[in-house]
Amino acid sequence: MITGQDTETLRALRGLADRDASVRLRAAMAVGSSPDPGFVGTLVERCAVEPEFYVRDMLTWALTRHPAALTLPALLREVRSGPAQARSQALHTLSKIGDRSAWPVITRELLTDADDEVARSAWRAAVVLVSDDGTGDGTDGGAENEKVALAAVLVTQLGRGGRETQLSLGRALVDLGDVAMPALRTAATASDPDVRAHALATQQVLRDPDTGFGFAIEEAKRVVALGGAPVVDDEVC
């Protein structure tokens, strides 16, 4: 016997694949407003193919409304083996859930992925998921070591892509905090002028968070073009 609730569930699931984006948006909102374990697989599958950004964002919200114990396994599978959009959206969703048990899925390969959207999502997720509390094995400074290692990988991507990609990477490094400064100092001496400018701009924003990144990157490019030396702030360790 199909109940009224079952009918509503079926209608919402069908709505996620409707041709009209506004219908898909309302369906994702309905699914998130009434979480049900039966929704998780369909939500994750839809994230991989949904063409509209604002609908994908609602799908992510709907997934965050379900228990992490149900969503994490499906999201981790997508990150490991899905197509580019599936990986990117799964990483974005993991960053919103914020469960640090997902941290091991953030590999160097993801952080350096050739697809800019995958890499940007990986950068955001990495900063959220990297440990703040140590490794749990009794080693002092475990969390800081993980952040230092993350910063070392992120700086290899400096100078990459267009404005939005560079902003995403800069924000990720700034969010890591002072542990990123040594890696940025090294990058600021690179032979590639785009890498040097990106490193200098990120250093500036890290020292002064009120500095707009757009302004900082343009100023850094000007300094590099004029042959200026990298700025070194000895007070930041």
Total structural domains within the chain: 2
pLDDT for the residue 143: 66
Domain limits at 84?
1-129
Q: Which residues of 158-177 are buried (b: 16+ CB within 10 A; e: fewer)?
A: bbbeeeebbbbbbbbbbebe
For the chain (237 residues), the mean pLDDT of every run of 10, in chain order, is 56 91 95 92 96 97 97 97 96 97 97 97 97 51 83 97 93 94 94 93 88 81 71 43
For residue 237 the two structure tokens come to 């360790």
Tell me how far CA of residue 147 lies from CA of 58, 72, 128, 173, 220, in angstroms: 30, 23, 11, 10, 25
Are residues 101 and 207 located together in one domain of the fold? Answer: no
Are residues 125 and 173 located together in one domain of the fold? Answer: no
Are residues 71 and 36 located together in one domain of the fold? Answer: yes
Sequence letter at residue 10: L
pLDDT for the residue 133: 59
